Structure 1
């Protein structure tokens, strides 16, 4: 068993872990490992927003165009296609892309095919909304966790490797303990979200600035390989409780520090839903996320349901679960919204 923190990211601790050195978790888990040359990654959320069946074809075509652009020189090493319907009834289709180096991302973003399309005034006249949420955490500022050592998701796909069985999981506080920065930094937030630029017509093209130590989590599951009792347990018992928690964060999250929450479904290349989903949320701080996870009834129900699930199956799961958590510096965040409604993403509570 090894630490979730890679050797080259370890440093003398000034802040303690929440476990003793002899702690043994009840089941195995793994973290993704990046090569030592990787110092920073890019996670890009490229969204298309529409409302009503009449707009779905145009929205799908726009998403397909974004996905095609990923094939250009310096495109991402991995991407997902996803969909959800938000609380205001808008369809949101998002292409999520990952780079293991900000330099090729910057070159890709500056290519005429990408930049001219994004900056064009035509984006304002299509009856569609668009957004780009770009976060680029340094490797010391994020962590990953998987219940399998292969078939990684998200940023894990572009990191290039896997840890051995890790120690820091299956206890409250393990998320923080897996982030290398936590060895010396409490990651306390400072500053506030703010609209820093918008066109004269409010709500058309808006840029939002994040603040220091804003937290972000993508937490997902795939049930495609489940069968029999396990599939019944997930579909009938675990997923409804998970959905309830996701909807609470979507509708009432601002009151507990959650700026935005999306409960999303993966799509295949033709736009059909896969048996994979995840929650994506932005938080004022890691501490706010931890408080919800440890004590709020909606997450206590999710965690309790998962523990009953794994115990009923004697920890032998075909369900794949994972998450990635980032605590972001101000300069690691960029959010821009075009024609989006005022509760979209980081606009929520500002516009």
Structure 2
């Protein structure tokens, strides 16, 4: 067993872990290992928003255009596609792309084929909404976790290696213990979200400025390989409770520090559903996220139901679980919304 924090990012702690050195987790887990030469990554969420079946078909074409751009020079090393219906009833098609070199992302974004399409005034009047949410953390500011060692999702899929079984998981507060920066930094928030330029509204481009130590979590599950009792338990018991928790964060999350939340289903290139989903949520702070996970009835119901199923199946699961948690400095965030309804994404937070 080893620490979740890689050796090259380990330093003397001034902030203690929540566990003793001899702690043994109740089940195994792994983290992705990046080469020491990787110092920063880019996580890009590229969205197309529509309402109604006719507009959704048009949105799929726009999404295909965005994904086509990923094949250009300096494109991402990994991307996923997902769909989400938001609280206002709009369809949101999203391409999530990852780069392990910010310089490559910057050169890709500056390509005329990418920049001119995004900047074109046609984006304001073609009946669709568009958004880009770009996160650029250094490797001290994000952590990953996987329930299996043979497949990685999200930013972890870019990483060359996988750890041995790690110690810092299976207890409240473990995600903070896995963050390299949290060895010495309380990662407390400062500042607030702000609007740069035009206020949210139709036919407008709105940019939202972030604040120091804004926290983001992408947490997912795949049930493709499940069968029998496990599949029945997941789809009949676990998923409805998970969905209810995600709906709470979407509809009422601002009362507990969650700016915005999306519960998304993976799709393939033709728009067909995959048996994979994930929640993505933006938080005022890591501490707010921790309080929800440790004490709120909606998350306790998720955790309690999952542990009950795990114990019933004697810890033998084919369900795959993962997450990535990021705590961003103020200069590592770029949120831009074009012709989107004003409750979209981080615009909810202002």
Aligned to 1:49: 49
Aligned to 2:247: 247
Q: How does 1:4-15 map to 2 (within 5 A)?
A: 4-15=4-15
Gaps of 5+ in 1: none
- Runs of 4+ with >3 A deviation: 199-203
Aligned to 1:79: 79
Aligned to 2:275: 275
Aligned to 1:289: 289
Aligned to 1:20: 20
What's the offset of the Cα at 1:349? Answer: 3.7
Aligned residues of 2:260 and 2:281 also touching (Cα < 8 A): yes
1:134-157 CA distance string (max 9 Å, x none): 001100001000001121000000
Instruction: Provide TM-score, normalisation by structure 1.
Output: 0.98
What's the offset of the Cα at 1:200? Answer: 10
Tell whether 2:259 aligns with 1:262: no
1:296-349 CA distance string (max 9 Å, x none): 000000000110111111111100000000000001100000000011000004
Aligned residues of 1:230 and 1:313 also touching (Cα < 8 A): yes
1:184-219 CA distance string (max 9 Å, x none): 000000000000122897661000000000000000
**Rounded Cα–Cα distance in structure 1 between residues aligned with 2:201 and 2:17:** 49
Shift of the 27–109 alpha-carbon distance from structure 1 to 2, 3 Å rule, reads same
Tell whether 2:62 aligns with 1:65: no
Aligned residues of 2:40 and 2:136 also touching (Cα < 8 A): yes
RMSD over aligned Cα atoms: 1.0
Aligned residues of 2:28 and 2:147 also touching (Cα < 8 A): yes
Gaps of 5+ in 2: none
Aligned residues of 2:30 and 2:164 also touching (Cα < 8 A): yes
**Rounded Cα–Cα distance in structure 2 between residues aligned with 1:317 and 1:98:** 28
Instruction: Provide TM-score, normalisation by structure 2.
Output: 0.99
Shift of the 200–263 alpha-carbon distance from structure 1 to 2, 3 Å rule, reads closer
The count of corresponding residues between Structure 1 and Structure 2 is 350
**Rounded Cα–Cα distance in structure 2 between residues aligned with 1:268 and 1:115:** 25
